[in-house]
Structure 1
Amino acid sequence: MSAASSDVILERMMALHPKIIDLTLDRVWRLLEALGNPQDKLPRVIHIAGTNGKGSTQAMIRAGLEAAGLSVHAYTSPHLARFHERIRVAGELITEEALTAVLDECYAANDGADITYFEITTVAALLAFSRIPADYTLLEVGLGGRLDATNVIARPALTIITPVSIDHQQYLGDTIAKIAFEKAGIIKRGVPCVVAQQAEEGMDVIEEVAARNAAPLLAFGQHWHVGPERDRMTYQDETGLLDLPLPNLPGAHQIMNAGAALAALRHLGADPAACEAAVTRAHWPARMQRLREGPLVDLAAGAELWLDGGHNPAAGEALALHLSSLTERPTWLICGMLNTKDTGGYLRPMAPHVAGLYAVSIPGEANTLPAGETADAAAAAGMEAATADSVAGALQAITARCPGARVLICGSLYLAGNILRENG
């Protein structure tokens, strides 16, 4: 089977609906029914929603479960370099042959009807998971929760809501309360829900939805606590205290993500060794990832090169906190963003911690914000800002001005995916 086979089918799927995002579950239910309802044949499901931290939390849960000797399916989005990253079957990325088969089956069963790319590919993932034994299925919400294509599991083993903040306002609403209502749509009757730290207005909505569904909450600050302790972290719940290393995923915000993962694992009966593995063995690319080899690293000529795909104001605040904790060294940003994002809200928190920014357009992305507009937003946020034709060009300009600088490539998962492909 040729390596391009899945790409060809995926390209066909892009043409099945005029919109990239169109939130409703009607089309998903129709296709699932045509395929024999694979969503009802999955191993125990852990369903994860939230604005930031979903992927990191899922990665930590998976690391903990696998350390305990359990087999885990995992679904996440978007991918960075290859679509296959979205579907991990019993611990391994889906093979080209298996991906092509389920995509082809879903395309045929859909029979040309309207359905979005995310909807039909999510159904393909569920179909793949339904056919291979495993102990757990981890499902990450794509957008929102209530009307997301993953929200078709009648009774998951557990739901999780990571921190909720402002993002995707055009789809989810323009307040924390409205967005929290959409995220809380994954809560199911009688199913426990782990809740990370939330703004008060978001937590009020989550508690209300949980109460209506008689769903027990396992909430940060009430049922579990997590925080840094010297050069380590502590986690405590009614079961007891865990003294653990800091997460291997960089950034102070990963402590909260680790707390949500640990609350889930403890609820599922994980032992301390599995909990430690969750924070020390998780891998999640493009989340303050240090690039240590490859063409861009060679081009950096001694600069310290980092990559992060965060793209909303909460991500900007998390990055600012992390940058403030790093060793003294001039920090420059190479930033490319989508035109649907709050660019100023993302950049403002980082302004006091950076020497300057080079703005780029995201290659091959129709919704990229032009580099000049990103640079204007950076200047308005108080940064020295310029534009570059490419990340490589920006990197050369920075290293010429400031040899040995710290360089963070940031602003979009789509840009991060380009970098990972370009850098090998």
Structure 2
Amino acid sequence: LSDVAGFQSLLLTPLVVQGMVVGVLIFGNSAANAFAGVNEPTLMATGNMAASVLYNAVLFDRVHNEASEREAILKSIADGVVVCDQQRNIMLVNRTAEQMLNLRDWHIVRRNWNAIPLERVPVAKDMFGNDIANLEHYQIGERVVSISSAPVIGEDDSVLGEVIILHDVSAEAAVDRAKTRFIERVSHELRTPLTPICGHTELLLRGYLGPLSTEQRETLEVVRMRGEQMRDLVNNFVMIASIEANTLITEPEPQDVWVAVESALAPMRNAFLKKGLDIILDIPDALPAVRADRQQLQVILTQLFDNARRYTQQGRVTIHASHQGEFVQIDVTDTGPGISDEEFSQLFTRFHRVEGNTSPERGGGLGLAIVRQLVERQGGRAWAESTLGEGSTFSIALLVAHEHADIVAEPNNSERSA
């Protein structure tokens, strides 16, 4: 270096940062012994300051590059990303989230995530009634988005803020709505021909159009049974479609349990009689009213009674009600074949039917799923118990109507018999 630049004096000062040598600072002078004496400490101090400046410059450049990389990554992410602090004030929004939430001025106007107008919408379900995703869905303008979040954790395990991810599921939501409308439309179309089929078959069986031979009567009985099965299946599809579309209105009112049971059981007594099944009612006179939608309670009880009738070939069906704290419990016990442990876990799943049952009256696998969903809409719960080879008990628990609720007229106690 002295030969090239013509220096007669050189002073080399190491650049030390955090105890490590990261470089060297060289001072040169054309005079001999130029750095001897008092100049040396000053130049050493200058070297130390230069090391600090250079190190900070390198750090700044590195941080700037990393920030640019993170910004590029955020911009390229198809999902919306929002970063909030501990108070949920919005600190960072990527381009997709800007468009979803219309937050193009977030870096100028301070906003809080809790102030974002989000409207909760029901989670889409598949045809078996299972949630398509475990994430919450919200309406934002014309969009439907699923939202998930995760905390931002610092090096000392403290929570620094929150990262919120928005995924646009508008297309999936539109498909789900179209599916529900299709099921509802097809179900209503199927109802139209079923009504005259069932009605005219009933007229023929009652002899209004002339006497029938034994063979003709047996044939019409099969037509009526199959027609009623199809009608029940269509009604179940309509009910499922209404629940999924969130168009089913639930209006809980005080309901007398005895009246509800008798009302649901009356149209089915002949069907029980034809199979030779006994009906045992065990409903206390002092049983409090329950809080439920009248029509939905009828559907619940009808499904439970019909399920017991279908799967019981001989014996009896017992309907028992009892007061259990804040609830009234209704148990429907049959003497059917019972249910295996393998089948039990799927009992309230849509379209699931117990394997091995070859009864011509077996349902379409929707009844018990409807029971559970409707009972839960009343604030209650549904469950079952079964012993293979002995029978099953299907139970529901409904909330007791409050004392200040409307009074329910009680029928004459003398009429309460099976």
Q: If each structure's strand is expressed as a fraction of its own residues, which one has the higher value? A: 2
TM-score, normalised via structure 2 length = 0.23
TM-score, normalised via structure 1 length = 0.23
Q: Which has the higher contact order (CA 8 A, sep 6+)?
A: 1
Query: Which structure would you say has the larger Rg?
Result: 2
